[in-house]
Structure 1
């Protein structure tokens, strides 16, 4: 997820983003924990002379990405990454995505004012963490809210941790150790109608998934995934234990098949898994969606069980402005929405902003492609 498209904002937008960045960096040093509310954005365009976008950023005073949205207690809560400017050069390992903490956002309805509840968890509060808090997710069970997060440990290996809170807005307290058997990035937790919960995770290149093919971390493995006509690497899925803090058994590959029932190949870069898993259920079917990474698409596959296998079905969203693309899908009051990000505010791949737009389906349950 590491080479930008070099999409450049107009000069005016860049100037505005620099001013915004200065303000953003100033507020980041304060580590605020109080909630602030910003009005909803209603305009669908920047200006008559500027570029047009499908939707507007949900917040503009900080940079946010990778939005995991949920409805808790009748309110929408969003668990995004918190992008910051570090001055690190871009590389394929994603070192320039050097996030230090999470802010949790909420709103009563899509299109309504957004509340920033401040810092919910920071690297310094995680006993085993080294650096880089990447895309998180959240879940609720047992009267407790769980925040799942990937962060590099002190040996610079990505693991997945869990933190808990009695409120969906946090703050969250991290467990002393990462989840046993976890690795790589982008945890996404889905709880089925039978009460069982599953975690989907994994990401290629900087996400290190390709270094776990022998069951343990291989520091000498290639930086990128296999190529050619070999089966593509895929996400992992594991059922969570009753306490939501462990895996209930071994994790397994998420099998994504083509229309002929064969595994997608590494060379099939517009369909194979790269990162950014999400799961939702619709009319009894399980929709596993994800990013294709270096081809910049959000796509989906459908299965009959939460653990798969899943058959590839199509594109959810065409490429956004910026290199990365990451999403979540939820139902709110009978309508479906996709939360996503682009780089409208900054024009920089590592300084993103989250957005939301309606997700529409055809009569057969297939998802209509969105052009952002």
Structure 2
């Protein structure tokens, strides 16, 4: 099912495998021609330019606070670690928060908002974060491996949307895996969606307990229902889970769960929730097939019926999205590897308009110009 834009991804993987051997401690973004692909001068043109070029950024969680856009991304660095399915080459150590007054306007980097050295329980790998606001406090939710190399989710707080943030002394009790995404429903209740397979360790959490000897991937169960992302209601103080973690079931239009072998549609990572005309839209990345897909439901817990693709494959292996309304339009924030010319662990964030059709479906976006 991969379409004509797959070939930059294949080239990017081969580039990334050798690029990870760089001897520089942290490689800075190089100037890139935003109008052509790094792999082929006469190839397709990028639809959008990177929002920031001074550092590498990924996994953009965008929010509108006080009529201003704030973006909470990962901060990619050169790790000098060979690429592998566990994602060890994504060795991020801090978070920078970005802001802009309007889409297309100047982007401000507010500097380091949280450093791994200031998280008492952290071991390594600060992956994709998200943020929320309640009662005068901003909350930064982040996944990081603890000192036993198990991903947990932590929370840090600040009185400013740009930080600095102070981390709680322990991770959220009962948390695991990666990619927390916090959704505020119309009634004011907050929910967290999370999880990621392969390097995100979700497949190691069968039966509610971590099995370090468990599968490194989701293979071996091709005809079983795919591993589910998770959802949980947050406590009133936003620091804990208010209930047991639940599975997010993604089904096809016949009501059957998506299967492990259905790599074009099944969940891999990058949960996000938005609400439009009373419907709940759960979006996610399919990982190894590189789509941003979505499914819809009637309540925050699902089940969610698969509807289609929001974003076709981009340059690079990963993608991670957020969807937000601003000034009477909807926007999709995502990332690719334009600046690093295809090095999959050195990414840059972008934004483009997202459109809902009259029937509630979402127009599929291709990140290249025709």
Query: What TM-score, normalized by structure 1, do the two folds share?
Result: 0.89
**1:215 pairs with one of 194, 208, 214:** 208
The corresponding residue for 2:4 is: none
Q: Is 1:45 matched with 2:26?
A: no
Q: Which runs of 5+ in 1 are unaligned?
A: 26-40
The corresponding residue for 1:193 is: 186
Q: Is 1:173 matched with 2:194?
A: no
Deviation at 1:96, TM superposition (A): 0.2
Inter-CA distance 22–218: structure 2 relative to 1 (3 Å threshold): closer
Cα distance per residue 1:160-183 (max 9 Å; x no partner):
000000000001000000001100
**1:229 pairs with one of 212, 223, 234:** 223
The corresponding residue for 1:282 is: 276
The corresponding residue for 1:37 is: none
Q: Is 1:247 matched with 2:250?
A: no
Cα distance per residue 1:208-246 (max 9 Å; x no partner):
000001211101111011431111001000000000010
**C-alpha separation between the residues in 1 aligned to 2:118 and 2:226?**
36
Deviation at 1:86, TM superposition (A): 1.4
The corresponding residue for 2:108 is: 115
**1:355 pairs with one of 340, 350, 354:** 350
**C-alpha separation between the residues in 2 aligned to 1:341 and 1:142?**
31
Tell me which moved more, 107-116 or 257-266.
Answer: 257-266
**C-alpha separation between the residues in 2 aligned to 1:24 and 1:316?**
28
Q: Is 1:366 matched with 2:361?
A: yes
Tell me, what secondary structure is at the counterpart of 1:214? helix
Aligned pairs, number: 347
Inter-CA distance 54–9: structure 2 relative to 1 (3 Å threshold): farther
Spell out the pairing of 1:1-372 with structure 2 (5 A cutoff): 5-7=10-12, 22-23=27-28, 45-46=35-36, 52-226=45-219, 227-346=221-340, 347-372=342-367
Inter-CA distance 296–23: structure 2 relative to 1 (3 Å threshold): closer
Checking the alignment, whether the CA contact within 8 Å between 1:255 and 1:310 is kept in structure 2 is yes
Deviation at 1:9, TM superposition (A): 11
**C-alpha separation between the residues in 1 aligned to 2:162 and 2:293?**
30
Deviation at 1:5, TM superposition (A): 3.1
Query: What TM-score, normalized by structure 2, do the two folds share?
Result: 0.90
Deviation at 1:24, TM superposition (A): 5.8
**C-alpha separation between the residues in 2 aligned to 1:79 and 1:256?**
27
Checking the alignment, whether the CA contact within 8 Å between 1:9 and 1:344 is kept in structure 2 is no
**C-alpha separation between the residues in 2 aligned to 1:251 and 1:106?**
32
**C-alpha separation between the residues in 2 aligned to 1:198 and 1:267?**
29
Deviation at 1:207, TM superposition (A): 0.2
Checking the alignment, whether the CA contact within 8 Å between 2:76 and 2:90 is kept in structure 1 is yes
**C-alpha separation between the residues in 1 aligned to 2:147 and 2:28?**
31
Inter-CA distance 205–22: structure 2 relative to 1 (3 Å threshold): closer
**C-alpha separation between the residues in 2 aligned to 1:22 and 1:303?**
42
Structure 1 outlier segments of 4+, above 4 Å: 21-25, 46-51
